[in-house]
Amino acid sequence: MESIRELLLILLAVILLVQNLSNVEARYHHHKKQKNKGSTVPPPASPETPVSSSPSYSPSVPSDPYPNDPVNSTDCIFDVRDYGAVGDGSADDTAAFRAAWKAACAVEAGVVLAPSDYVFKITSTIFSGPCKPGLVFQLDGVLMPPDGPDTWPKADSRKQWLVFYKLDDMTFTGKGTIEGNGQPWWDLPCKPHRGPNGSTSSGPCDSPALIRFFMSSNLVVSGLTIQNSPQFHMKFDGCEGVMIDKLSISSPKLSPNTDGIHIENTKSVGIYNSMISNGDDCISIGTGCSDVDIADVTCGPSHGISIGSLGAHYSQACVSNITVRNAIIRESDNGLRIKTWQGGTGCVSDLSFENIQMENVRNCINIDQYYCLSKECLNQTSAVFVTGITYRNIKGTYDVRTPPIHFACSDTVPCTKITMAEVELLPYEGQLLDDPFCWNAYGTQETLTIPPIDCLQEGEPQSEQEVSAYGC
């Protein structure tokens, strides 16, 4: 009799255990079904919150048994092929890119994906915001515009191709290539182009900048290869908070007006770990820029790193707090250049060039306050004030066709507070040409300079003005 009672108790325990496991399993499958519909488990009610009629779950059952379940991981990726992109290099994929952008823009951390092994062609497009934060444009394939002015749609702007407008917290990245198809534009027979036989004619000669960011903030551009732009490769205008990293930018040495990276009216910029070779300025910094840090960049062939040109058409220009460090400039027409027009106003202040290696560069160190694109520029009494410029550890070789150091400052507004330290520039080949040139330039030599720069006047001019006097 005792053994029968024990057997019944064991049987009853097994039945209860099976029922409990069945209830747990049912609740789990109900939760997974609701999760796949997009629902979430309601949080436990707080003491102040009335208990709802929604089902509650035992704490012993996890709200999500597989928290890393990738069921919905692709929900924020918008592949342009899903919107009709062909990617064969000839079809017009503009509509597909615009539709994918619109969809990604509407969700947080959306990704526009242009996958590898495809060549996408789109016409001039403005990708505008505002968008939800964390938007990513991921280019892993090839993206290109129509091939030259003859195939450019007449209704499209000839001044720009890809425009990113009014965006915040956006990233443009990938392992892909932006191919500008610039050759037909470079061959246009109008200035600044040289024409197929070197001839030029007057008249308008618009060519599109390849990529433009306008009135945007907190931007990241990284990893891309950008090549053969009809005009500037990349422009930032009216932006704040820009990080550029690991770009490769290239076009032929004689391609006209193909600046690598151009910024204007833009603040808080970092340009790092990039290689740029082109037919104009490697990096150009226009008016309204401040707090710019450039490091570990290789330029050349190019026209070097330029501040300006500034003050054209009697305008005011303000540039401050620019740092260029750990850079290489090779086979270039200019190295580190500040160029301003006569008649301008404003100020260039607090620039630091440090640890720069020159390799066969003309005009390695150059301040030119008489910048002019023709022989018709007249002398003016006003000028952009240049002050607080430091050149430290600038070494390498220069092209002997021009002196390696050239300070041509305004007659009426001297350059002041120029600091030279550990500047050693030797001829790439041949003999030393001319001594450095200085005009109305004041500063300090912390160490002896090679070649010697005896023309730099010590101290400060008697008529020196404060930066604030120039409206910056």
Q: What pLDDT, in 10s, does the model give residues 103-126?
A: 999 999 999 999 999 999 999 999
By three-state DSSP, how is residue 470 classified? helix
Answer with the residue of higher pLDDT: 147 or 50.
147
CB 285 within 8 A of CB 216: no
Residue 296 burial class via C-beta count within 10 angstroms: exposed 0-12, middle 13-18, buried 19 and up: middle
Residue 13 burial class via C-beta count within 10 angstroms: exposed 0-12, middle 13-18, buried 19 and up: exposed
Closest-CA residue to 131 (of 177, 165, 160, 98): 165
Residues 7-52 have pLDDT tens digits of 444 544 544 444 444 443 443 344 334 334 333 333 333 333 333 3
Instruction: Return d(Cα 145, Cα 162) in angstroms, integer.
Output: 9
Instruction: Return d(Cα 306, Cα 289) in angstroms, integer.
Output: 13
pTM, two decimal places? 0.82
Instruction: Return d(Cα 363, Cα 360) in angstroms, integer.
Output: 10
Residues 168-226 have pLDDT tens digits of 999 999 999 999 999 999 988 776 665 555 566 665 678 999 999 999 999 999 999 99
Largest distance between two CA atoms of the chain: 123
Task: Output DSSP code: residue 67.
Answer: T
- Count of CB atoms within 10 A of residue 64's CB? 12
Residues 268-300 have pLDDT tens digits of 999 999 999 999 999 999 999 999 999 999 999
Residues 408-423 have pLDDT tens digits of 999 999 999 999 999 9
Angstrom distances, CA of residue 333 to CA of 74, 245, 429: 49, 25, 16
Q: Which residues contact 73 (CB under 8 A, 6 or more apart)?
A: none
Angstrom distances, CA of residue 288 to CA of 155, 236, 293, 348: 32, 11, 15, 10
pLDDT band for position 376 (cuts 50, 70, 90): confident
When the pLDDT of each residue in the chain is averaged and rounded to a whole number, the result is 85
∠ Cα 114 120 126 (to 5°): 80
In one letter, which amino acid is 175?
K
In one letter, which amino acid is 333?
D
Beta strands in 118-252 (DSSP E): 119-121, 125-128, 135-139, 142-144, 160-165, 168-173, 177-179, 209-214, 217-222, 225-227, 234-237, 240-245, 248-250
Q: Which pLDDT score, from 0 to 100, does residue 269 have?
A: 98
In one letter, which amino acid is 169?
D
Pairing label, strands 240-245, 225-227: unpaired
Q: What percent of the chain stands above pLDDT 90? A: 73
Beta bridge partners, 53, equal none
In one letter, which amino acid is 259?
D
Q: Which of 64-73, 236-245, 403-412 has the lowest mean pLDDT?
A: 64-73
In one letter, which amino acid is 334?
N
- Count of CB atoms within 10 A of residue 331's CB? 16
Q: What is the mean pLDDT of residues 335-347?
A: 96
Instruction: Return d(Cα 472, Cα 465) in angstroms, integer.
Output: 12
User: Which residues are known to be catalytic?
Assistant: 280, 303
Asked whether residue 454 carries a pLDDT value surpassing 80, the answer given is: yes
pLDDT band for position 322 (cuts 50, 70, 90): very high
Instruction: Return d(Cα 172, Cα 430) in angstroms, integer.
Output: 46
Task: Output DSSP code: residue 150.
Answer: G
Instruction: Return d(Cα 9, Cα 3) in angstroms, integer.
Output: 10
Asked whether residue 92 carries a pLDDT value surpassing 60, the answer given is: yes
Q: Which of 1-5, 30-34, 62-66, 345-349 has the lowest mean pLDDT?
A: 62-66
Q: What percent of the chain stands above pLDDT 70? A: 79
Q: Which pLDDT score, from 0 to 100, does residue 377 have?
A: 84
Helices (H), 138-276: 183-186
Rounded to 5, what percent of the chain is helix, strand, coil?
Answer: 15, 40, 45
Instruction: Return d(Cα 132, Cα 128) in angstroms, integer.
Output: 12
